[in-house]
Amino acid sequence: MTTGIGIDVEALRADTPGCANVTHLNNAGSALQPAIVTDTVVAHLRREEEVGGYEAHAEARDRVAGVYASVGALVHAPIERVALVESATVAWDRGLQAIAFSDPLAPGDRMLVSGSEYASNVLPLLQLARRTGATVEVIPDGADGAVDVEALGDMLDERVRIVSVNHAPSQNGLVNDVVAIGDMLRMHGSPAWYLVDACQSVGQLPVDMGRIGCDVLSATGRKFLRGPRATGFLVVSQRMLDELEPFPLDLHAAEWTTLEDYELADGAARFESWEKAYAALLGMGAAIDYALACGIDAIAERIGVLAARLRTGLAEVPGVIVRDRGSTQSGIVTIRVDDAAGVVAGLRARGINTSLSTPDYSRIDFGRDQATGLVRISPHAYNTEDEVDRAIAGVAELVR
């Protein structure tokens, strides 16, 4: 699937039926699936139709187990620390629920978040702060706009209980140095639980859970991994398994042993629920295997080339401000224009998919420049230079 050190773009496009219908530059929202992903999902649904849901699951048990192995290979983690869930938000929440239940916060405790943190990560922390008397504080940005790791080190003390950072924010193009953040926590001997939202980085950037050293890594299947919607995974540290108990449990996460007692399931299965959309999860496994076959480094290189072309071209368009920051940047390109919603709609009318980012997604980040809306353009490896140039030309027409 690769040619030399790069990507065989035509092969990727041949594997992706949607490329014939639309210029899809909304991969940070939900990517076009390779045919193997859709075929995998439909085949399992057909089997459920033929023999029943439980029976189809029993037949596919080894293939389901293979999805855990695929996730482990993707993020370099032991499979016993992998849980399959419905979304990145569910994954992140399950980790936080375990912390809140087993290691409760108290007045004066501190929770630190990045300035580009996504709303669905901050809102539960604000709930905890309201209920417990703990506080939520923002880690300062460095000169490049990413998390200032040295400033984080200065903030650390024994009252810091949670550090929550997104690897690749949804709305500003930067990549936070989650490895350096983990190193800083370890250097200070911090007892804080380290949560990393990797929903925008898995599938487009190399992610190494062991090197990051986080306690919770959450991700989705539908974005750059190119899997189905309503899929995701959670990977936890051994410390999480040793010290925390998820809440609430169900009969998959634990065994009810006596009237008064129960026993937790082995490994990260205790973070899961019994019911799963197995067709979708098998599809996510197919998407991960497809990405691994392409090569994550090759995918990252290709996306980086297309994103750089977008940023360079859009920066030359009058009326457009490229908003992206960071010394290292992702494949998420965001621009400010007078009518972001109108530009997104106008591009869609031209057969070009992008998306609209609004302040409710990341209140802190949007507050920096009072942006009321951004156009988010996110290419993948299967996109072409011609598609990128069409998007630039489309924006130029729409902002005249």
Segment 99-119, tens digit of pLDDT: 999 999 999 999 999 999 999
Task: From 371, 383, 335, 328, select the one nearest 355 (Cα to Cα).
Answer: 335
pLDDT tens for residues 302-311?
Answer: 999 999 999 9
What percent of the chain has pLDDT above 90?
95
Residue 244 in contact with residue 97, Cβ under 8 Å? no
133/370: higher pLDDT: 133
pLDDT tens for residues 238-294?
Answer: 999 999 999 999 999 999 999 999 999 999 999 999 999 999 999 999 999 999 999
Tokens describing residue 165: 């950072």
Residue 165 in contact with residue 176, Cβ under 8 Å? yes
Instruction: Report d(CA 354, CA 376) in Å as an integer.
Output: 6
* pLDDT at res. 3: 44
Instruction: Report d(CA 157, CA 214) in Å as an integer.
Output: 18
pLDDT-derived band at 176 (thresholds 50, 70, 90) equals: very high
pLDDT tens for residues 32-85?
Answer: 999 999 999 999 999 999 999 999 999 999 999 999 999 999 999 999 999 999
- The 3-state DSSP class for residue 261 equals strand
Instruction: Report d(CA 37, CA 70) in Å as an integer.
Output: 14
Residues forming a β-bridge with 263 = 255
Question: Would you say residue 334 has pLDDT above 70?
Answer: yes
pTM value is 0.96
Count CB atoms within 10 A of the CB of residue 172: 27
Residues forming a β-bridge with 252 = none
Residue 310 in contact with residue 333, Cβ under 8 Å? yes
* pLDDT at res. 370: 83
Residue 152 in contact with residue 112, Cβ under 8 Å? yes
Count CB atoms within 10 A of the CB of residue 18: 17
Q: Which domains, and CATH codes, for the chain?
A: 2-33+295-398 (3.90.1150.10), 38-292 (3.40.640.10)
What percent of the chain has pLDDT above 70?
99
Q: In sequence order, what DSSP letters do the residues of 195-234 get, joined into one string?
A: EEE-TTTBTTB---HHHHT-SEEEEESSSTT---SS-EEE
pLDDT tens for residues 78-94?
Answer: 999 999 999 999 999 99
Instruction: Report d(CA 293, CA 299) in Å as an integer.
Output: 10
* pLDDT at res. 18: 98
* pLDDT at res. 48: 98
* pLDDT at res. 1: 47
Residue 397's contacts (CB-CB under 8 Å, 6 or more residues apart) are 346
